[in-house]
Structure 1
Amino acid sequence: MIKVDKLSFSFPQKELYKNITFTLEEAQHCAFIGTSGSGKSTLIEILMDPDRYLFEGALEIDPACKIGHVSQFPQLDSTKETTVFEYIGEEFLKLQDEITAICTEMETSSDLDPLLEKYQLALDALEAIGGDDFESNLNKKLNLANLMKLKDHRVSDLSGGEFKLIQVMKEMLRRPDLLIMDEPDVFLDFENLNALKNLIHAHKGTLLVVTHNRYLLNHCFNKILHLENTEIQEFDGRYIDYNFSLLQTKVELQELAVAEQEESERNEKIINNLRVIATYNSEASRGKALKARVRFQERLEARRIKAPFVAIKQPAIRFDMDNEVEDATVIKVSDYSAAFDELLLENVNFEIRSTDKVAIIGPNGTGKTTLLRDIFSHHQDAITINPDVKVAYLSQLQGEMLKDSNTILEEFMDAGFNAYDEVRSYLSNYGFEGEIVNQKIASLSGGEKNMLQLAKVSAGRANVLLLDEPTSHLDTYTQIALEKAIEAYKGAILMISHDFYSVVNGMDYVLIIDDKTIRKMSMRKFRQMIYARHFDRGYLEAEQNKKAVEMKIELALKDTDFERAKALVDELEELIKLL
C-alpha cells in the first residue's frame, strides 16, 4: 500500500531522516513510536501530502489508496448546532440529500443523461462508505465505544475525550484504505481509552497510529515503526515482543562491547609497546608491525556497534525542593464545589499531607482540572494552603504555563535563571541541547512542550507539585523517567492522570470522582477495580513478574554477569507468552 525507500529529509536547523525504509501493507495495525521531536508528525504530513516537501529517496503510494486522518488537536466548529449522529454521518447525510435532489430534478427535466451520470456518481460515493448499512455501522461503532446514549446529544456538549472518540468513528466510517491517527489517546480517561482500544480492534483497514500510551501499545498493534536519531526500525509483531527483542539485543550488544573493549585495550597496549620500541629500533619490520596494529585498532573502532534503538538516553528528570515541610497537612479542601453550565463537583473534602502522592481519577469533563487550578490559585475559601508550602503547577493546556512567542532560552531567563550558560547546562538534562534552545516554543512538538513544563516545575524547587496530565505527549522513555522522579521526590504530589501505569507505579492512593463528589480509595482497591474491568484474570501477576525479571536483567548487566542475564532473558520469554 505504501513503500518508503531510502527517504531523507531535513529542516534548515535539524536533520530528521537519513535513508529510512519501511512498508505499510493491507490490514496492518501499526504503532508509530519514537522520542519527542524525532519527526513522527512531520513524516505523517509527508505521507499525506508528499508534493509539499522536498525530500530525497522514493515514496510509493498506491494511487487508489484513500487516506484518512485524525489530528492530534481536533478542532470543533462550536457555531454549529450539530448532534453526534449528524456530525459522524455528515458525508452520508449529504449524499442522501444529493441523491434526493437529483431524483426530484429528474421528474421535471427533459435532459436526463447528465443527471443519470450525477446520480450514479453519488450512488458510488455512498456505496464507498457503506451505502444503506451506514447507519447500522454507525450504531455499532457507538455501541463499541459505549456512547450510544450520546447519539442525539449536541457535539458542543461533549467532553474532550468523547469528541476525540467521535472524530475517530467519523474517519473510520469513511472507510479509508489507510487511517493515520496522531496521538488519539491524549487526555482520554480509562473508560474512553478502552473504547478506543475496541474501535482499533474492530477496524478492518490499515492503521498507522502515533502513540506513547503503554496500554494501547501493549494491546492493539501487530507492527511497530520506531523512529530514532534519523533512523527507522520496523518490527512485525506486538509491542511487548518488540521490547523483549530490544532487551535481548541489549544483552548481546553489551557482552560484545565488553569483549571488544578488552580486545581494544590489549591492542592499544601492543601499539604503545611497538611505539616505544620504534624510538630506539628503526628496523622496517617494526614500523610495519606498528602500522598493522594501528589499522587493526581503527577497524575495531569502526565496527563498534551503533544501536540507536537499544540504549536510548532517558532525560534526567529530578524534583528537588528548597525546604522540606515536616509531617503536616499541606492542602486542605473543605466543602468545595465547582460549576459551569451545570454542577460538576459538590461537597468535596480531603487533605494532602506533606509526603502524600495522590492521583485524582475520574471521567473526562467531571471537574478535575478546575479543582487543580483552584488549588493552584487558592482564591477560594474552601481551599487552605499551608503557609510553608511552595507550589509548582504543570498544566495540560501548555499555553497556560509557556509563552509560545518566547524562545526556550527566553522562557527560562524569565523563570529566574541568571545566565544563558546556566540555562543551557540545566536544559541539557531534559534533552534540549545545541541550537534547539533558540527555537520558539510555538515550533516545538507537544511532547517537547510538556518536557519543557517538567523542566520549569523542577527548576521551581517546590515542595508541592500539582500535575495535570503530566505524561500526555511524552514518549515512553520519558514517562518511565518521570515515574522514577516521582518515586524519588520527597514532597507532596497531587496529579490528574489517565495513564494507568503512572498511577499504579507512583501513587500512594487515589481520589475517585464519584457522583459529583470525591472519595478516597487505596491503591490495592484501585488496581482490583481496573483489572476486574479491563484485564484477564492473572494479567496483573504476570505483568508484575515480568517487571521483576526485567529489573534483575538490568542488575545483571550492571555487574557484567552475562550468563545470568541470558538465563533471565529465557525466563522473561516464558512470562511474555502469558501476556
Structure 2
Amino acid sequence: MLGVEGIEIRIGPRLLLDETSFTLNAGDKIGLVGRNGAGKTTLMKALAGETLLEKGRLYSTGTIGYLPQDPRSVDLELPAFERVLSGRGLSELRRELAAVTQHMSSSDLVIAERATRDYGELEHRFSALGGYSAEAEAEAICVSLGLEPRLFHRPLGNLSGGQRRRVELARILFSNAETLLLDEPTNHLDADSIQWLKGYLRSYKGSLILISHDVELLREVVNRVAYLDANSSKLEMYQMRYDLYIKARAQSEARSKKERERSEGEIQRLSLQANKMRGSSAKRARKAKVLDARAEKLESSIEEIRSKDKVAKLKFPEPRHCGRTPLEGVTLSKTYGSLEVFIGVDLAIDRGSKVLILGLNGAGKTTLLKVLAGVEVPDTGEIRLGTGAMVGYYAQEHETLDHEDTVFHFIRSKAPVDMQDKDLRSILGSFLFDSEMMNQKIGTLSGGEKTRLALAALVTTGANVLLLDEPTNNLDPISREQVLEALRRYKGSVVLVTHDPGAARALDPERVVLMPDGEEDLMSESYYDLISLS
C-alpha cells in the first residue's frame, strides 16, 4: 500500500500540487495524466521518496519499484544482466558466492572453514530469493523487452540509450516490488516489447501508478485515472477505466466551457451597466466602480485559465544560407571496446534534404547522430562541413542540458552573443516558459519541458541542419502535434531518429539510412512499417 496525506509540491514559487491525499491499494492501477509541465514526474519522484515534501506526509508498506523518466547515474562498467539481477539483490550475492568459493580452496584451514560456513549462509539467502530459477526469470523478462542474450555481459556504458532504458525496466519488473511507479515505460520499446509489457502489467498483482502518452497502454492496463490539473493544481481521481475517463473529462470540460461563457456574458453585462452609471452622480460613480471591480475579477480568473491552457506554437529556425551539401560523413566507424557499432558508413546530407535513420535498438542510430554532431569522435573517417553549415543537435536523453543550470542562463549560453535578452525571453515564452520559470533549474523540469527547452535552444541558433534523436518522446499529444507541424514547415535539412511513425510521416523523408551497415535507399511505404519495430 502507498498513500499520501495533505501533500503540497512546489518548484520555487510554482505550485504544482495543492494539498492532496489519496491511497493506492493492492490491485489499483492508476494512470497519472495531465499536460506536460503539470507536475506528473515531480509527483512520481515524491511518491518514490526521491524528493522531500514541503508539506504533508508519505506512508507506504511493502517495496516500491520506480522507473524514472530520465536515466539514473549507475556504474557504467557493470554488466547489463548484473544490473537486472540487482533488482532482487542477486547480483551482490552472486559476487559474494564467487569470492567465498575461492576462499574455500585456501590452504589456510581457518580461512577455508570460515568460507565454507559463509557459503552455506549465502547459498541459503540466494535460494530464498529464487536462486538460479530467478536468473532464468530475469533472462525471460530481458528477452521479452528486446534485450538479446549477447548483450547480457556487456558493460552498461557499451549499450545504447534505448538498451540501457530496457535494462532499467527489466530490473524494476524483476524486482517483485509490491508497488510499481513507471514513468513513460514504453520509451525505446518496439511494438513486440510494448505488447508483452501490456500483458505483464495487466496480470501484475500489486499496485501501479503509470505515466504514459501511449493511449493503448493506458486503455488496456489502468483501472483508475488521476488527472493532475495544471490550472487548479489539484489531483482529480476518476474511479474508472481510461475510456470512461475520457468521456467524463469531455463532459467536465464542456461544463467548464459553459461556465466560462456565462462568466464572459456576466462581464459584458457588468461593463455595460457600469458604463451607463458613469458621470451621473458620485453615488452612481461609486456603484460603477464596484461593477468594474467585479468584472475585472471575473476577467482575471478567465485570463489565468486561458494563459495556462496555451499551446506552444513551435517553429524551427529559418535556416541560414549554406552550400549544396552542408554535412558529410566519410567512411565513419565507431567501436566501444570490442563492440563494433558501425563500420565504413558514408553519408551526405544535401541542402533541405530530409533523411530518416532506421535500425534495431543498438544498431548505432544515436551514436551516428552524435558523431555527425561532433559530440563523439569517430574511430575512422571524418565529418565535413560545407560552406555556411550550422548543425543543431537534439539529444534523446537530454544530455546537452545541464541540470544545475537555469532555463534562461542555458538559452543565453546557446544563443549568439548579439541576440538581445528580450528576444530570448520572447522565444522562451513561445515555448511556454513564463517569467516564473526563467530562473528554474533545468533538473526540476518535466521531460516534456526539457524537450521544449532543447528545441528552443535550436531556435536561437538559426541552424540549417537539424540532427533530431527521438524529439517526440515525453510529449503530450498536443505538444507532439506542435513539434510535428514545425518539422513539416522547416526548410532546412533534417536527419531524424525516431520510433514514432507519425514523426517520420510528418518529416516526409526522401531517403532512409539503414544501420548498422549505413546502406541508403529511397523512402517507401514498407519502411514506415519497420519504424515501430526498430
Q: Note whether the superposition's TM-score is higher than 0.5.
A: yes
Q: CA deviation at 1:18?
A: 1.0
Q: CA deviation at 1:26?
A: 2.2
Q: Tell me, what secondary structure is at the counterpart of 1:452?
A: helix
User: 2:18 & 2:29 partners in 1: Cα distance?
Assistant: 25
**What residue identity is the alignment partner of 1:261?**
E
Q: Which moved more, 1:420-429 or 1:80-89?
A: 80-89
Task: Name the structure 1 match of 2:409.
Answer: 410
User: 1:530 & 1:381 partners in 2: Cα distance?
Assistant: 28
Q: Quickly say closer, same or farther: Cα 1:311–1:50, change in 2 above 3 A.
A: closer
Which runs of no fewer than 5 residues in structure 2 stay unpaired? Answer: 105-116
Q: Tell me, what secondary structure is at the counterpart of 2:362?
A: coil
Task: Name the structure 1 match of 2:112.
Answer: none
**What residue identity is the alignment partner of 1:358?**
V
The question of 1:428 aligning with 2:426 is answered no
Q: Quickly say closer, same or farther: Cα 1:382–1:196, change in 2 above 3 A.
A: farther
User: 2:464 & 2:170 partners in 1: Cα distance?
Assistant: 43
Kindly indicate whether the alpha-carbon contact (under 8 Å) linking 1:497 and 1:503 is maintained by their aligned counterparts in 2. yes
Task: Name the structure 2 match of 1:108.
Answer: none
Kindly indicate whether the alpha-carbon contact (under 8 Å) linking 1:510 and 1:520 is maintained by their aligned counterparts in 2. yes
The question of 1:32 aligning with 2:32 is answered yes
Q: Tell me, what secondary structure is at the counterpart of 1:20?
A: strand
The equivalent position to 1:354 in structure 2, one of 351, 354, 360, is 351
Kindly indicate whether the alpha-carbon contact (under 8 Å) linking 1:95 and 1:126 is maintained by their aligned counterparts in 2. no
Kindly indicate whether the alpha-carbon contact (under 8 Å) linking 1:359 and 1:507 is maintained by their aligned counterparts in 2. no
The question of 1:231 aligning with 2:228 is answered no
Deviations 1:447-489 (A, max 9, x none): 4433222111011122221112323444444323211211221
Deviations 1:58-109 (A, max 9, x none): 6454xx33222234323443445674598357535767999999xx9xxxxx
Task: Name the structure 2 match of 1:450.
Answer: 451
**What residue identity is the alignment partner of 2:273?**
I
Q: CA deviation at 1:239?
A: 4.9
Q: Tell me, what secondary structure is at the counterpart of 1:166?
A: helix
Identical-pair percentage: 24
User: 2:461 & 2:80 partners in 1: Cα distance?
Assistant: 44
TM-score normalised by length of structure 2:
0.76
Q: Quickly say closer, same or farther: Cα 1:238–1:493, change in 2 above 3 A.
A: farther
User: 2:436 & 2:155 partners in 1: Cα distance?
Assistant: 43
Q: CA deviation at 1:17?
A: 1.7
Q: Quickly say closer, same or farther: Cα 1:397–1:454, change in 2 above 3 A.
A: same
Task: Name the structure 2 match of 1:47.
Answer: 47
Q: Quickly say closer, same or farther: Cα 1:47–1:373, change in 2 above 3 A.
A: closer
Kindly indicate whether the alpha-carbon contact (under 8 Å) linking 1:178 and 1:207 is maintained by their aligned counterparts in 2. yes
Kindly indicate whether the alpha-carbon contact (under 8 Å) linking 1:161 and 1:192 is maintained by their aligned counterparts in 2. no
Task: Name the structure 2 match of 1:568.
Answer: none
User: 1:509 & 1:216 partners in 2: Cα distance?
Assistant: 32
The question of 1:77 aligning with 2:75 is answered yes
Task: Name the structure 2 match of 1:486.
Answer: 487
Q: Quickly say closer, same or farther: Cα 1:526–1:245, change in 2 above 3 A.
A: farther
The equivalent position to 1:279 in structure 2, one of 243, 260, 281, is 281
Q: Quickly say closer, same or farther: Cα 1:152–1:80, change in 2 above 3 A.
A: closer
Q: Tell me, what secondary structure is at the counterpart of 1:421?
A: helix
Q: Quickly say closer, same or farther: Cα 1:174–1:486, change in 2 above 3 A.
A: same
Q: Tell me, what secondary structure is at the counterpart of 1:410?
A: helix
User: 1:332 & 1:99 partners in 2: Cα distance?
Assistant: 52
User: 2:51 & 2:395 partners in 1: Cα distance?
Assistant: 37
Kindly indicate whether the alpha-carbon contact (under 8 Å) linking 2:11 and 2:444 is maintained by their aligned counterparts in 1. no
Kindly indicate whether the alpha-carbon contact (under 8 Å) linking 2:391 and 2:467 is maintained by their aligned counterparts in 1. yes
Task: Name the structure 1 match of 2:114.
Answer: none
TM-score normalised by length of structure 1:
0.71
Q: Quickly say closer, same or farther: Cα 1:457–1:79, change in 2 above 3 A.
A: closer
User: 1:376 & 1:297 partners in 2: Cα distance?
Assistant: 54
Q: Quickly say closer, same or farther: Cα 1:404–1:177, change in 2 above 3 A.
A: closer
Q: Which moved more, 1:462-471 or 1:38-47?
A: 38-47
Kindly indicate whether the alpha-carbon contact (under 8 Å) linking 2:365 and 2:515 is maintained by their aligned counterparts in 1. no
**What residue identity is the alignment partner of 1:408?**
V
Task: Name the structure 1 match of 2:467.
Answer: 466
**What residue identity is the alignment partner of 1:339?**
T
Q: CA deviation at 1:494?
A: 1.0
Q: Quickly say closer, same or farther: Cα 1:461–1:263, change in 2 above 3 A.
A: same
User: 1:505 & 1:59 partners in 2: Cα distance?
Assistant: 44
Q: Tell me, what secondary structure is at the counterpart of 2:488?
A: helix
User: 2:87 & 2:12 partners in 1: Cα distance?
Assistant: 42
Q: CA deviation at 1:314?
A: 2.0
Q: What is the alpha-carbon root mean square deviation over aligned residues? A: 4.6
Q: CA deviation at 1:24?
A: 2.4
Q: CA deviation at 1:354?
A: 3.2
Q: CA deviation at 1:179?
A: 1.2
> May I ask how many residue pairs the two structures share in their alignment?
507
User: 1:143 & 1:175 partners in 2: Cα distance?
Assistant: 18
Kindly indicate whether the alpha-carbon contact (under 8 Å) linking 2:8 and 2:53 is maintained by their aligned counterparts in 1. no
Task: Name the structure 1 match of 2:496.
Answer: 495
User: 2:511 & 2:48 partners in 1: Cα distance?
Assistant: 42
Task: Name the structure 1 match of 2:267.
Answer: 264
Deviations 1:301-343 (A, max 9, x none): 69969869x97322232113254569x5544556544433333
Which runs of no fewer than 5 residues in structure 1 stay unpaired? Answer: 105-114, 535-579
Task: Name the structure 1 match of 2:363.
Answer: 366
Kindly indicate whether the alpha-carbon contact (under 8 Å) linking 2:84 and 2:168 is maintained by their aligned counterparts in 1. no
Task: Name the structure 2 match of 1:164.
Answer: 165
Task: Name the structure 2 match of 1:87.
Answer: 85
Q: Which moved more, 1:432-441 or 1:458-467?
A: 432-441
User: 1:151 & 1:68 partners in 2: Cα distance?
Assistant: 23
Kindly indicate whether the alpha-carbon contact (under 8 Å) linking 2:27 and 2:205 is maintained by their aligned counterparts in 1. yes
Q: Tell me, what secondary structure is at the counterpart of 1:438?
A: coil
Q: Tell me, what secondary structure is at the counterpart of 1:459?
A: helix
Q: CA deviation at 1:31?
A: 3.1
Deviations 1:353-399 (A, max 9, x none): 43333331222322223322333349986655442433222233544
Q: CA deviation at 1:23?
A: 3.6
